[in-house]
Amino acid sequence: MITAGIDVGSISAKAAIIQDNKLLGACVILTGYNSRNAGRQVFDQILSELDLVASQIDKIIATGYGRNSIEFADKAVTEITCHAAGANFLNPEIRSIIDIGGQDSKAIVINEKGKVQDFSMNDKCAAGTGRFLEVMARALEVDLDAFGELSLQADNVASISS
Sorted by where each begins, the domain ranges of the chain are: 2-77, 93-153
Q: Which residue has the higher pLDDT, 99 or 53?
A: 53
Residue 6 reports pLDDT greater than 90: yes
The predicted pLDDT at position 126 comes to 58
Q: Are the folds of 2-77 and 93-153 the same?
A: yes
Confidence (pLDDT) at 160: 60
CB 42 within 8 A of CB 29: yes
Is 60 in contact with 16 (CB distance < 8 Å)? Answer: no
Q: Which amino acid is at 118?
A: D
Let me know the angle formed at the C-alpha of 13 by 120 and 58, rounded to the nearest 5 degrees: 100
Triad 51, 35, 15: Cα angle to 5°: 30
Q: Is the pLDDT of residue 100 over 70?
A: yes
The confidence band for 136, taking pLDDT boundaries of 50, 70 and 90, is: confident
pLDDT in tens, 40-83: 999 999 999 999 999 999 999 999 999 999 999 999 999 999 99
CATH code, 93-153: 3.30.420.40
Which CATH superfamily hosts domain 2-77?
A: ATPase, nucleotide binding domain (3.30.420.40)
Beta-carbon contacts of residue 152 (< 8 Å; ≥ 6 apart): none
**Digit-coded pLDDT (tens) for 138-154:** 778 888 778 777 877 87
Q: How far apart are CA 80 and CA 141, in angstroms?
A: 33
Q: What is the pLDDT of residues 104-131, one digit of tens each?
A: 888 999 999 999 999 998 877 655 566 6
Q: What is the phi/psi pair of residue 25, to 5°?
A: 180, 165
Taking the C-alpha atoms of residue 102 and residue 62, their distance in angstroms, rounded to an integer, is 18
In degrees and rounded to multiples of 5, residue 49 shows phi and psi of: -60, -35
> What's the average model confidence in pLDDT over 3-10?
95
Asked if residue 147 lies in contact with residue 137, where contact means CB atoms within 8 angstroms, the answer is: yes
